[in-house]
Every structure is written in structure tokens, then in C-alpha cells.
Amino acid sequence: MERPRTASIAFWWVAWAAAAVVLRLLSPGILESGDGVLHYQIARYSWAHPELLLDHWGKPLFTLLASPFAQLGHWGMTLFNALCFVATAWAADRMLKDTATWSRWLFAPALLLVPVYGTMVLEGMTEVLFGLLATLVVLACYHSRYRTAALLASLMPFARPEYIVFVPLLLGWLVLQRQWKALPLLAVGHVLYAVVGAIALGEPFWAFTRDPYTGAEAIYGNGPLTHFVQHPDLVYGIPLLILLAASLLVLPMLHPMDDGMATRRRVLLILALLPAVGILVVHSLLWWQGAKGSLGLVRVLATSAPLLVLFVLWVLARAWHLLTGGRLVAMVFGLVLSGVYVVLAAQALLAVQPLPVQAGAYQRFLDRVGDRVKELADDHQRVVYFHPYVAYRADLDPFDPQRAWKSMPSEGLQPGDLLVWDAHFGPNEAGVPLERLLQDTTLRLIELLVPDERMKVLGGHAFEVFLFERFSGQRTVEETVLFQQGSSGTLPFAHRKDTLACAGPVWCFGANEFPFEIDGLPVDVPGMLYAELLISGSIAWEGERKYATDLIFTEDAIGDQLSYWSSTLEEGPFTIRLRIPPRNGIARNKLYFWNLSGAGFRLQDLQLSLVVHRAVL
């Protein structure tokens, strides 16, 4: 009976893994257009550039194992992670055999439907491989194969940095079990990679000297200590959190009734539950202190999701097995409850991430940028860019120095180079502020690209892309005040202004939802490279309570939205700068307030200015 049952369960794992791959193939959207794309590029091009196999940021073990799958395309990373998921389910099943049968069937969907884990499988991220290694180590210790556990753990530093939490706990367990001969094996991974590093790089200690998680504090900043626990439902899903709470209540009850499993129960407590908690705590501390390049990304918790699901199901299913004696009725009832859980967990996942993944405004804009760069690349010697997605979309080898550079070259730009500056990576990771480029008279601005839904990215920068080339770039800048409140009687544009009577050079508005709008600002000037619309003033609310309103600027052409920009205005002065590319006379625009506060406000010192940038021919 055991052999066909195991085969059936294995088919069940593969079915869930296949579903993930199919969903990826049906998804036009990419969840991780930055790090996810870069991991894919490192794996894909590692065969052409073997030095990438020792790229510390790319996670050398992940790069090595995922590289064959990356040759298939980006979806191949999902295929690799789906296989890691199947292997994780197999490892967990070897332990869940000691519990109720339903837990063996529930593990795979329960894990894949954890929001933070399922999305990382789809995106082919590194966290899934680490989760597999951790589960394999727990399995080895569960069956007292301590040397195997130590060997597997020695590879963890080359899969994910979360090893810093897991390996010390394993070390403690080996010491408690007096497994002295296993301890030296924890260094095998470092020794192997040191030998390879000495041969390939001439640097045996490269794993320490080339630590990529340093020096980013000023870029990423920090956040509250509670950041990673503020929305656990979005990370783990409410169904898993309920089971976690139940397992913690049941765990003390297992001690007197299941003494024969005491050691294995402690393995799961120390090497499954504690690492999951430890990874959460360490990342919370790092983000709070702004250390080790932490960006506060909750996706890192996917590393511990298999451990958490394993612990929860083992504890609950073991108690169920002991209390019911493995009777058929109990097994059927457990399977029914498992089915209910799967439905609820699927709803929790879809509430966080609708599937298939659709391309959002961010990706749609980068698609347009990448397509434009691909058009221009053949006319330029090299493409210098900062956002990984640009090379991905333009189908460039980002590691071929003859064609692409993912940073500013040390010798600077050369004649024939195309520079793609984006507001996300450019001023942050690349350390290249836009002002520096705009003031460089040896650069010619080719084009400004803006998204159809304006947004802000890391550092509060408006997301936009400037295309430059190395060429004489003399430009003229002309600023014109279009309107200044108090200095002229009426607005010189088509407008609607639902004001109330009030004293002084102030406009008072009631609680109207759309109290003020201007149509047709003259921002599309013939012959311009781009224009900047500067909007400044001061806003105040009636009464002591403070509210906020939105200032909206839109551009449309024959029913199509070209640009939508929303800025939230709170009490006090404000200044907004909007960069606008040439529209060739096809666009009409509107500037208006969208007041959802239900309260009136006062507006004063409103000034509209236009700065036009032109090339000197």
C-alpha cells in the first residue's frame, strides 16, 4: 500500500508545480522586474560569462543550479523553482509520514498557496531554493543523519544570506546531540568555493571580501521595527496564521502523550519553528537599523515558509493521529477539512496577488522604454543603463562590455554610447543624479519618456526615463510665468472655479468634489525637448482639523490616456514639478483638484510656470 500511495502523492505535487508553471506562461506581468530579472540574467548569461557563477549578489549556488533552466527564457526560472517546490514537498513528506495521512496531501497546496512563497515560485527567486535546503537539513536531522545535514547546510551561504540564522541553530543542535564529527562538515561549502575562488579569481576569501550587502544604508534608509509583522495576512495568509496559532496551543499537549517522538518533535521546534521566527526577527532588526542593504522587502520571509508549514502540519496532524488512532472516518474527515483549507488559502493568495499576473503601470512603462532602446541600440555602440529590465526587454547581453553596461563606465561615456537614465535605479543604486547629466554639455538629450500613470519610486523621485547620447548637447532653458494668483485678475485659460466669498487674495472653496479645474495649459511647445510645469502655492483647511486633497494633471489624445499624475496636498505650502515630453499637438490636458475630504479649503499664492528645454541646433 505504501508504494502506490507515495506515487499518488508525488503526482499530486507535480500537478501543483505544473499549475505554477502554466500560470507563469499565461502571465504577461512580471512581479520582480528588478531583482528577479537580474537573477534571471545572471543565470542565463553565466554560460557565456563563467565569472557570473561566482557573483555573490546572484547567489552562486542558485546561479549554478538555475542556469540550465534560464536558457529556456524567464519562465524557465519558474520551472526551476517548481522543481525545488516538488523536492521540498518530498522532503517534508518523509517527516509527515509519522502523522495523519491528510497532512501529506495538504502540504503541497498549503505551501504553494502561502502568498509570499507562491509568488516567489512564479518569479523564479532565490528564496525557494533556500527553503528547499533548509527542509532537507531538517529531514536529515529528523532521521539522525547529522553529517548529511552539515554538508547540506554548508552550501546555504551560497544560496541566501538567511543562513546566518539557520546554521547557528543547526550548530547548536549538533552540539546538543554530541555530533562532533559532523561539525567540521559545516565548512565544506566555504572550502569548495574558496578553492574555486582562488583558481578563478585569485581570491580564496571572496565570499567575505565581496559581500554585496554593504554601503546601501544611505540609499534604502530604514523603517519601523514592526514592519515585517504589520500585515502578516499579506505575507502568510490568514488560514496559515490560524493553523500556526492552533499548533502552538497543541504543541505542549503532545509532550505527555507522545514521548516516543520527543527527539523528532524537538528537531522541528529548533530547526523549523525557531529559524522561521529568527529570520523574521533578524530582518526586522536590519530594516529598523537600515543595515546590510535591507530594503524591508517582505519577500525574504519566503525562505522560511516551508519550515513554518512543515511545523504547523506535523504538530496538528500528529495530534490528530494520536487522538483518532488513524481510523478511516478520521482520515476522510481530515481530507475534507484539508479541502476547505485549500479553498480558503487560495482565496487568501488571490486577494494578495490576482492570477495570472498582469502587467502593471510600472512594467508597461518599462516595456515601452525597452522597446525604444531596442530601436536605438543598433545605431549606438553601447547601451549604458541602470534598470535591469531595460536590457531584458531590449534583449541585450548585460554582461557584454562591447554592447551594454549596467553602470556608468569608469572611463565615462564614449562617442556612440546610448545612456538610459531611469529615476528608480539611476539616482539610487547607480548614484547618478539627473541634474549632473542635464548640466553636462557633452551629452545630447534624445528623448524623455514618462509613464501613462505617473508614479514615484525609491527616493521619492518621479518615475521617468531620459535617453542621452555622447554628443554636443547645448540646450536653452526658457521659463515663463503662466499665472500668478493676486497679480492678475482672472486666469488666462479655459477654467472653472467654484469659489466662495472670502477676504484677501485668497480663493475659498467649499466641500465640492471637483471645485477647480483648468483646461488646455500651453505645455506642448513646438520644437521643445521637454517642458516642466511648475505648480506652487499654499493650502489651508477650514477649522482645526487637517485634511488633504489631490491635485491632478492629465493628458489625453483621442480617448487614450497619455499621462495621469496625482499629487496629494496637505496643509501648508506645496511645489510640484511635472516633466512633459513633446506631444506634437495631439494632446489636450487638464489640471484640477479632487477633493474627497468633505471639507472646504483655502488656496493662495498659486503660481503656474512653464520651463521649456530646447536643443541648440
Q: Which residues of the chain have pLDDT under 70?
A: 1-4, 214-219, 488-489, 617
**pLDDT digit string (tens) for 11-30?**
999 999 999 999 999 999 99
Spell out a b/e string for 569-598, using b for 16 or more CB atoms within 10 Å of the CB, else e. Answer: beeeebeeebbbbbbeeebbbbbbbbbebe
Rounded-to-integer distance, Cα 502 and Cα 508, Å:
6
Give pLDDT, residue 217: 63
Map 6-61 to HEC letters. HHHHHHHHHHHHHHHHHHHHHCCCCCCCCHHHHHHHHHHHCCCCHHHHHCCCCCHH
Give pLDDT, residue 429: 87
Give pLDDT, residue 216: 59
Q: In what order do the strands lie in the sheet with 443-449?
A: 404-405, 382-385, 417-422, 465-470, 443-449
Q: Give yes or no for a cis peptide into 224 (omega within 30° of 0).
A: no
Give pLDDT, residue 488: 62
Q: Which CATH number fits domain 477-615: 3.30.360.10, 2.60.200.30, 3.30.300.30, 2.60.120.1310?
A: 2.60.120.1310
Domain-by-domain residue ranges, the chain?
2-352, 361-473, 477-615
**pLDDT digit string (tens) for 4-16?**
477 899 999 999 9
Those residues with Cβ within 8 angstroms of residue 295's Cβ, 6 or more apart along the chain or in another chain: 220, 287
Give pLDDT, residue 459: 87
User: What does the DSSP assignment read for 360-399?
Assistant: -HHHHHHHHHHHHHHHHHTTSSEEEESSHHHHHHHT--TT
Those residues with Cβ within 8 angstroms of residue 374's Cβ, 6 or more apart along the chain or in another chain: 393, 394, 395
| Grid coordinates given for 389 | 529590465
Return the closest-CA partner of residue 171 out of 153, 189, 148.
153
> In angstroms, how far apart are the furthest CA atoms of the chain?
91
| Grid coordinates given for 198 | 582562488
The pairs formed by 437-440 with CB atoms below 8 angstroms and a separation of 24 or more are 437/466, 437/468, 438/475, 440/473
Give pLDDT, residue 328: 83
Q: What angle do CA 394, 400, 406 make, to 5 degrees?
A: 65
**pLDDT digit string (tens) for 265-303?**
999 999 999 999 999 999 999 999 888 777 788 999 999
Rounded-to-integer distance, Cα 564 and Cα 453, Å:
5
Give pLDDT, residue 3: 47
Give pLDDT, residue 327: 84
Give pLDDT, residue 211: 82
